[in-house]
Amino acid sequence: MGFLGLGYRRPLAQPADREQNVESQQSLDSYTSQADLSLKSSRSSASAGIPDALSFDKIIDGGTCPCEQPMTIRDFMNYLIYIEHSAENLQFFLWHRDYMSRFHSARTSDMVLAPEWTMEQQEECFTKLQKEHRDALKRGPVGTANIFRGTDFEKRWVMGPKATVMEKSSHVFADSNPFRTPPMTPSGDSGSEFTRTTTATAMSYRSQAQDAFAAAGIKAPFTIQPFREEMDRVIATYVMDDAPRQLNLSARERKQLLTALSRTTHPTAFRQVARSVEATLRLQSHPGFVRWSICNGNAARVRFADALGGLLVVGAVVAYVLLALSSVPRGYRALPALGVVLGVGTLVAALKGMCVVLHGMHHRQVRPWELFVDEEVPDGEFNGGGKLSGPSKGSFESFGSSNSYEEQPWVVRYQKRNLVRKIFDREVWIQEPALRSIQDTIFVQAMLVAAVCAGVLTAVFVCVPGGRFY
């Protein structure tokens, strides 16, 4: 790629929670109402500071440089796990895309039991939920308590409207791990043990899904529908409260999805949720990922560059003053301009997360979770170059445990790392041409700002009369 132009701006910083930004929420709402998401993404990428070579679709489909980091789908997953803490969106997105492909390619006779969830049904469900919400607001908690008065639920309702559901599902999440396999009686038949384990796990998913339907006040669905066991796993992993990869859904969105899943396993049942998740990935996570990837140094290195740039500027200004007070010819007063150019350029680049020294070599520092990967990853987890190209394989599994990383060994080891080692951590070459072009553009912008500042200061100190104090 070539130079992106002096008017280039990085993607705007995205809020961590879409509810914290009204404009962002409106963009998501308008985006999810569009049918052609890819077209809208390609049109908005350039204006958002993202070149076409780094578009969302290119990253997801592997269109970026696959050799090394930092712009592959694995790096995107790393960003969502360790920085944005929303990897469940990408995991659900990848699962849903694969599920649509598998569902439409299936040719079994039971597929007729999973009809399409039409837009009319979706709108009808949405209208019904809105009406229930308005009626609940009118009725209030007193009216609800009157309904349960004189029944076995009266005491439980006083304790809390969710007490019944919690009592029913408390055994499921006793160890906060819904994927724990219940203990079994030892047996010498390993095949039967595997069968019992699989059956017990499936029953655990089924139990959790039934709890989710019961909590939403929805009748449990038919179990003979195709892919029904997979739907149970989806509900237990992404949909129900306290799920290990719970999506950021409102209560109304969750109930609407469960209503659709109670009637069919067709991919259209996820229509609204899938669009919302994809909109979040495209309009928030993806711009944030590109903005974060532009930074070629860690926080310690960038702060060090900031301090170094500030010292250069202060030193140059002091030199200007000393030369102006001396009796040297006026031409010598322009010499500190070099320090101003270097200092201001370093400061401006550091404000955008870049270290000019690393940029001069087109290097970036290795991320904290990549530093100790050679010691922590077992054999067979490496790519052809002998290095791990991203997060563990489990991050790309559709169903698994939560995305928490606080207990991973590298966290403690990196915290104990001294400041000097963090500043001069290992470096790798940036192979993605589009990312290098963005960094080149930012570097040129920083140097132009530095040149203007140096020119102004030089003109001022050259024009003032000399002090001739020494």
Low-confidence ranges of the chain (pLDDT < 50): 18-26, 35, 37-39, 41-43, 45-47, 157-188, 190-191, 193-195, 377-390
Clarify whether residues 454 and 308 are in a common domain: yes
The residue segments making up the domain with residue 121 are: 115-265
Q: What confidence score (pLDDT) does residue 18 get?
A: 46
Clarify whether residues 449 and 313 are in a common domain: yes
Q: What confidence score (pLDDT) does residue 201 get?
A: 66
Clarify whether residues 227 and 338 are in a common domain: no
Q: What confidence score (pLDDT) does residue 161 get?
A: 46
Clarify whether residues 310 and 458 are in a common domain: yes
Domain boundary among 241, 265, 289: 265
Clarify whether residues 314 and 256 are in a common domain: no
Q: Is residue 93 assigned to a domain?
A: no
Please state whether the predicted TM-score (pTM) of the whole model is above 0.85. Answer: no
Domain boundary among 213, 240, 265: 265
Clarify whether residues 337 and 260 are in a common domain: no
Total structural domains within the chain: 2
Clarify whether residues 245 and 315 are in a common domain: no
SS3 per-residue string spanning the chain: CCCCCCCCCCCCCCCCCHHHCHHHHHHHHHHHCCCCHHHHHHHHHHHCCCCHHHCHHHHHCCCCCCCCCCCCHHHHHHHHHHHHCCHHHHHHHHHHHHHHHHHHHCCCHHHHHCCCCCHHHHHHHHHHHHHHHHHHHHHHHHHHHHHHCCCCCHHHHHHCCCHHHHHHHCCCCCCCCCCCCCCCCCCCCHHHHHHHHHHHHHHHHHHHHHHHHHHCCCCCCCCCCCCHHHHHHHHHHHHCCCCCCCCCCCHHHHHHHHHHHCCCCCHHHHHHHHHHHHHHHHHHHHHHHHHHHHCCCCHHHHHHHHHHHHHHHHHHHHHHHHHHHCCCCHHHHHCCHHHHHHHHHHHHHHHCCCCHHHHHCCEEECCHHHHCHHHHCCCCCCCCCCCCCCCCHHHHCCCCCCCCCCCCHHHHHHHCCCHHHHHCCCEEECCCHHHHHHHHHHHHHHHHHHHHHHHHHHHHHHHCCCCCCC
Q: What confidence score (pLDDT) does residue 197 get?
A: 53
Clarify whether residues 248 and 315 are in a common domain: no
